[in-house]
Amino acid sequence: MLFNWFLLALSAAILIALSLYSMRVAGDNDESGFLVANNSLGPFVAAATLVATGYSGFVFIGSPGVAYEYGSLELFSNTFYTPAFLVATLFFANYLRRKAAKLGSRTIPEYIAQTHSSGPAGRWLRGIVAVIIILLLSVFLVSQIKAIGLLVAGWLGISPTTGALLITLLVIGYTMFGGLRAVAWTDAAMVLGMVFGSCVIAYVVFVQIGAGELISRLDAVDPEIANPTTGAPYGESWMSAFLLLPYAFLWAAALPFMSVRFLAIKQSVSMARVGIWVAILGLLLNFTPLAGLYAKAYYPDLASADLAMPTFLEHGVGPLMSSFITLFILFAMKSTANSLMHTVSTALSYDLRSALGQHSGFTTSMTFNRMMVLIVGLCGFFGMAYMPPVMILWLGILGNGTLMASLFGVTLCSTFWQGNSAGALSSIAAGFGVSAYLLLATDIGWVQGPLYGCLASAACYFAVSLATRRVADPVTT
């Protein structure tokens, strides 16, 4: 345990140092540096922060848990994230960053408002988008903090709640000082450890154990695990797994904590170079569900499926390697937690106060921005402490999927056809309502609910914009 505490302290010192240095580079009072890293990210850092944030706690804790509970289909479906992120990077990111640069947008709510309306209607739209982001990304932040607590508990020999509080305070510390630049730089450092951890999992399963041995043990436990006949938890048919391809694309393109990174990339950087790094890093992170299958084969009676990864670390590798991999998995979860804290806090400190017409005073200072990071992080921790028991991956999909459906019309559809503020508001309401209802009140597949919400969002965006075009507010071009 003492060695694990040393690793945590060393990594914390490095992350805090990166944060303070990034603050110095950006300038202590530069809000642009805090919001979009002064549009300075190069190809590797941009790709690393995208992948580290996308392949986070759900990949290292949630995905092995799903593989443990439902079977090897998760190993197949998990691979769709890489091509989806690659397509989003190559075919959407460039449009978004150039349009945002032309408009002067520094956050996604600001971009949505500027592309759909001016005047009071634009402020209403920006405020509503900010509130939706705060609500739904807070749900996802709670799931990340819960995953952190489960992981750190066994690693440091403390309670899950204490572990979650410790890491939450660390993430708050390096996020509140450096903003998005610090988030991106620390992500770039952390993703290398994440890749190493994923490759070690593959080595243990394919080399030390052997695929044949693992499959025979899974068959002895339950043949449905090694060879699933359904697409659970994504749908009735195994073909439902293919729905993860559009879902993951929308994840990268429509979710503000992902797409804001596109705004931070240098204008001179080729997106093809970013895409190459996304493909390399993403492919190397696709081995993590194997840990869940290992846990199912050798320890089929775990109290919770989310304990699959901690069980693999305890029994599948030696103590020293377990300590390092746990640190790298912690990196994965921190990379998303810091992104969520940054996005939610900027929605509060920048977008919501701008929507309310506050353009000067304390609310525009860097101190206020940093206070919002602190408040968001602590609220996420207390939300985790009083949350009822649910699967981490489902909770993440509830927050992310519903937000994705809410913003589908105003982000993706507006790329091809420009609607107005009325269409934007109706599409947000439709996407939110349909996705939330299907995930909370029905047994439909986890991926299908948000995708149906996206369809509802698109339909309302086009229909209402066309119906109200003659009386719509002028669109900023």
**76, 241 in Cβ contact below 8 A?**
yes
Report how far residue 457's alpha carbon sits from residue 461's, in angstroms, rounded to the nearest whole number. 6
Q: What is the pLDDT of residue 424?
A: 93
Residue 477 covered by a domain: no
Residue 476 covered by a domain: no
Tell me which residue of 135, 106, 107, 130 sits closest to 352, measured CA to CA.
130
Q: What is the pLDDT of residue 477?
A: 40
Residue 456 covered by a domain: yes
Residue 439: other Cβ atoms inside 10 A: 22
Q: Hey, is 294 helix, strand or coil? A: helix
Alpha helix (H) ranges present in 78-205? 81-91, 93-103, 108-116, 120-156, 160-203
Residue 191 covered by a domain: yes
Collect the ranges in the chain with pLDDT lower than 70: 26-31, 33, 57, 359-364, 388-393, 470-477
HEC string for 134-154: HHHHHHHHHHHHHHHHHHHHH
Write the DSSP assignment of 201-240 as a string of letters: HHHIIIIII-HHHHHHHHHHH-HHHHS-SS-TTS-SSGGG
Model pTM? 0.81
Q: Tell me the two tokens of residue 150.
A: 């489960």
pLDDT 10s digits, 227-281:
888 877 777 777 777 888 888 888 788 888 888 888 888 888 899 999 999 999 9
Range of the domain at 13: 2-471
Q: What is the pLDDT of residue 207?
A: 94
Q: What is the pLDDT of residue 408?
A: 93
CATH number at residue 253: 1.20.1730.10
HEC string for 372-410: HHHHHHHHHHHHHHCCCCCCHHHHHHHHHHHHHHHHHHH
Report how far residue 306's alpha carbon sits from residue 391's, in angstroms, rounded to the nearest whole number. 7
Residue 151 covered by a domain: yes
pLDDT 10s digits, 97-116:
888 888 888 889 999 999 98
Q: How many domains does the chain have?
A: 1
For 341, residues 6+ apart whose C-beta sits below 8 A from its C-beta are 141, 171, 172, 175, 373, 376, 377, 380
Q: What is the pLDDT of residue 27?
A: 59
**90, 371 in Cβ contact below 8 A?**
no
Residue 267: other Cβ atoms inside 10 A: 9
Q: Tell me the two tokens of residue 295.
A: 């846990």
Q: What is the pLDDT of residue 403?
A: 92
Q: Helix and strand tally (H, E) in the chain?
A: 25, 0
**350, 366 in Cβ contact below 8 A?**
no
